[in-house]
Structure 1
Amino acid sequence: MAPLVGPSGRAGRQACSGHSVGKLTDRAAGKEVTVSVTPTRQHSGYRFAHVGGRGPVRSRSLEPDGHRGDLVGDPQERPGGGILEFKNSNGAVRYGIKFLRPLADASKKQVLRRRDENDQRWKTGRAAQAALRDVLGKIERDEYVDPAKVTFGAYLDEWAKGLRLAPSTTSSYEKNIRLHIEPNLGAVPLSKITGTKLSAFYRKLETDGRRDHRAGQGLSARSVRYIHTIIPKALDAAVNDDMISRNPADRANPPTAKQAKAPEIHPWSPERLRTFLDWSRENSDLHAAWFTLATTGVRRGEPLALRWRDVDLDARTMAVRPSATLVKFKGGGEQITEGPTKTNKARVVDLDDDTVALLQAHRRERANLALQLGRDDALVFADQEGEHLHPERFSRTFRSTVTWCRKRLGKLGHVDLPPMIRLHDLRHTHATVLLRIGTNPKIVSERLGHASVTITLDTYSHVLPTIQRAAVDQFHAAMSADHKYQTSISGAVSGDPGVGVEALTSGVAPNMQNARAATVSPLKITAAALAWERSPTPPPWSRDL
């Protein structure tokens, strides 16, 4: 609706004082409109009614005391703002708001809005009034920013500046915002971001999202899902800042968790691991580091932040506390920092005898280079000056070491060569070997520093078939007639709930003697025997184990 212009200031008040009929000019239509004017209460504005827009429109002011009156006159003279009521093409009544927005030169500009920050029309006068009150409050507090003028890229930049995350995480967020989000969505007004736009953006990344030496290829579903974790957080902040009323990312369609699952891992077998470690002992300056990673399953950054005070060679333990991380800055530059581990929890990892002996020899070698390199506060794995090893170069050195190992052993006629793997696959190798030899997954999870055993089982699901086969064999052995877990049942009458079960005799599972025959199964008997075995009063036969 185009504004109507009438007499302003004192002239306007004098011209419109009392109940009278006057003329106003519709700028858009270039014509005069006859209006009936009456004074409003407790202020110097005026009421009017006119025809404009796509249907009958009434412009009403919102006074400081809450009084609503139809308004006429110069916008600069109007207190507060106004609520517009109009009909759309279907005849439905909708509402808009108008208000004076301060400009940088201390002047004011009248703003007319028919839609909210989500591009939706106000359906009730109450909703429009609430929106107007909110805008006027922000203007009074000097907090008003027109959502229609704020781009998603500009808001992301401001949001990223206030993040309180680990330096590496902040760096990763900024990198993905700079390389992927801003080039595609940065110029889009924040209020125009929709679930449909985000879904299309994710599909584009999957087909043509890479910005490195493989530009033109798509990002993996895992990478796209990571980018999706950034966008909802930023839009949640926009909701909290009253820039938008709801988070459009909730309606987006990113890659599912199943689609974004990490690719299948290919760990070394114990034989191939031994082949590599035997070769690196004589051919790699970082043999102690490779050996420690393989026998403890720690993450890359954890040994790079390990200090001698964290290693108790007498107790054969290693305390994993901080982790070394490479932080890259926007515009270039990088820094190695120490922060908490991935799960933000310290843990103690037991060491085997070979690892203890190797670390003892490694500390002597470091101390021989320089006395300070063997002190308690010195890094266990460091450069010649005692500074952190560069994490990315550390990984590249491992790959080049594996490549050199394969070439040398191949020339010597070795057939079962260790295949190329990443440094992180030493961790996978450690976990896989432990699970295949029957180690409790809970113990494996604790050694790896996983947040829960569920993560361990999900990550190493490829090992589960082997574990299941071993479990079936063990169960069969437990149920066999000549095993300690004898499962013969005497005196039970099937279907008679009053008949007790003489299961395993009182020397094996007395906690089953009062069970009902109809409820007993071999699985329950075995479980009861195992539970009693772990009880404070062990069964007599446990002394024979």
Structure 2
Amino acid sequence: MDQIKTIHIVSFLDSLTKDGARQGFRKGNLSTGTIEINHRVLKNIFSRAVEWKLLKLNPQLLRALQKESIHWRTMITLALTTGLRRGELLGLEWHHIDWEMGVLSVIQSVSMSPAGIVHVKEPKTKASKRKVALPPSMLEELKDYYSHKLDERDKVGDRWQGGKYNFMFCHPDGKAFHQERPYLWFRAFLKKNNLRYIKFHSLRHTSATLLINQGVHAKIISERLGHGNIQVTMNIYGFALRSADRAAADKFESFLTGRQE
């Protein structure tokens, strides 16, 4: 897919306007409406491919992220490596990390009402309560971020407003973020760095698709994402899974061909 260039798409769409483009029982010319549908389908396929990172992840985004504060850099990296939902990220507390095992427990999410009242609740499904293993480098980054938050809290002193909660991602005074805050920051970050817009939620899709492309079993991915069952994962990422399956088959072909030579 990443070998397809604009000229290929233009040539394909142009071929649809030629006489006899319609094949099968009703041979002839294609209508303008049909050609437009083909264009929309292609646009949706490539937009989703970039969004889910079936096409290569933009390295400029990763470089730009390194220039941001440790707070946002850690949140975005954690979103990519765990596939957590936005509310789950905001609901994380420091005691949810098992530093020795390198595992993160997802047991709650956070949302805020229009009146500014913070609601901490359990995830909506039983499967959403889960444990997610962290890469060693992510764990080290979290340790640095934890030290940063300790210093931040010391400076706040008596102005602390976190109450009984000790959120990982929050205002300096401990008050929970509004659920739109990560989305708004990420949108501004992309715009500032002249990067193509994607939704914050697309980081979750990116996490899943990267695992699929690395050959991780769909059941493991389903559990990491907190899906109710594996069928949900298959329905959402069916195209990516089929592509990975084809790539696996091609590897066997190379193996078999090499053995025969």
- The alignment's TM-score, normalised by the length of structure 2, stands at 0.70
* Cα offset, 1:480, TM superposition: 6.1
More strand by share: 1
Q: Which runs of 5+ in 2 are unaligned?
A: 1-46
Distance, in Å, in 2 between the alignment partners of 1:419 and 1:347 is 32
The partner residue of 1:443 within 220, 225, 249 is: 220
Partner in structure 1 of residue 110 of structure 2: 324
Q: CA deviation at 1:357?
A: 1.1
CA distance in 1, matches of 2:86, 2:245: 31
* More helix by percentage: 2
Residue 96 of structure 2 contacts residue 104 of structure 2 at CA under 8 Å; is this kept in 1?
Answer: yes
Tell me the distance in 1 between the aligned counterparts of 2:251 and 2:113.
49
* Distance in 2 of aligned mates of 1:393 and 1:381: 11
Which letter maps to 1:311?
I
Tell me the alpha carbon deviations over residues 399-425 of structure 1, each in whole angstroms, 9 at most, x when there is no partner: 11111122xxxxxxxxxxx42100000
**What is the CA–CA distance in structure 1 between the aligned matches of 2:220 and 2:60, rounded to whole Å?**
26
Q: Which residue of 2 aligns with 1:390?
A: 178
1:87-140 per-position Cα deviation (integer Å, ceiling 9, x unaligned):
xxxxxxxxxxxxxxxxxxxxxxxxxxxxxxxxxxxxxxxxxxxxxxxxxxxxxx
Which residue identity is paired with 2:189?
A: T
Q: Any idea what SS the aligned residue of 1:338 has? A: strand
2:169, 2:176 within 8 Å by CA — same for their partners in 1? yes
Where does structure 1 differ by over 4 angstroms across 4 or more consecutive aligned residues?
Answer: 477-481
Aligned-partner SS, 1:391: coil
Query: Superposition RMSD on alpha carbons, in Å?
Result: 2.7
Give the gaps of 5 or more residues in structure 1. Answer: 1-262, 407-417, 484-545
1:295 is displaced (CA, Å) by: 1.0
Mapped partners of 1:268, 1:421: distance in 2: 11
Counting only pairs closer than 5 Å after superposition, residues 111-510 of structure 1 correspond to structure 2 as 264=48, 266-268=51-53, 272=57, 274-284=59-69, 285-328=71-114, 333-345=115-127, 346-371=129-154, 378-406=166-194, 418-476=195-253, 482=259
* C-alpha displacement of 1:279: 1.4
Letter in 1 for 2:201: H
> Which whole-Å CA distance do the structure 1 matches of 2:188 and 2:207 have between them?
21
SS in 2 for 1:402: helix
Does the Cα contact within 8 Å between 1:305 and 1:338 map onto a contact in 2?
yes
Aligned-partner SS, 2:193:
helix
CA pair 448-273 structure 1, distance change in 2 beyond 3 A:
farther
> 1:397 and 1:465 mapped to 2: Cα distance?
34
CA deviation string 1:423-455 (max 9, x = no partner): 000000010111012111111111111111111
Q: Specify the code of the residue in structure 2 equivalent to 1:307.
A: E
Q: 2:199, 2:67 → 1: CA distance?
A: 21
SS in 2 for 1:325: strand
Check 1:369–1:434 CA distance in 2 against 1; reply closer, same or farther (3 A cut): same
Measure how far apart 1:281 and its partner are: 2.3
Using the alignment, how far apart are the partners of 1:274 and 1:387 within structure 2? 33
The answer to whether the Cα contact below 8 Å between 1:303 and 1:323 also exists between their aligned partners in 2 is: yes
Structure 2 distance, partners of 1:381, 1:437, is 29
Measured after TM superposition, the shift of residue 327 of structure 1 is: 3.5
Identity of aligned residues (%): 27
Tell me the alpha carbon deviations over residues 363-409 of structure 1, each in whole angstroms, 9 at most, x when there is no partner. Answer: 101111124889x9511111011011111122111111111122xxx
Contact kept in structure 2, 1:270 and 1:433, CA below 8 Å: no
Aligned AA for 1:446? E
* Count of residues in Structure 1 that have an aligned counterpart in Structure 2: 205
Aligned-partner residue type, residue 219 of structure 2? K
Distance in 2 of aligned mates of 1:446 and 1:273: 27
Residue 49 of structure 1: aligned partner: none
Bigger relative contact order, structure 1 or 2, given CA contacts below 8 A and separation 6+? 2
Partner of 1:540 in structure 2? none
Structure possessing the higher radius of gyration over alpha carbons: 1
Once the 2 structures are TM-superposed, how far is the Cα of residue 479 of structure 1 from its aligned partner?
A: 5.7
SS at match of 2:243: helix
Distance in 1 between residues matched to 2:55 and 2:77, nearest whole Å: 13
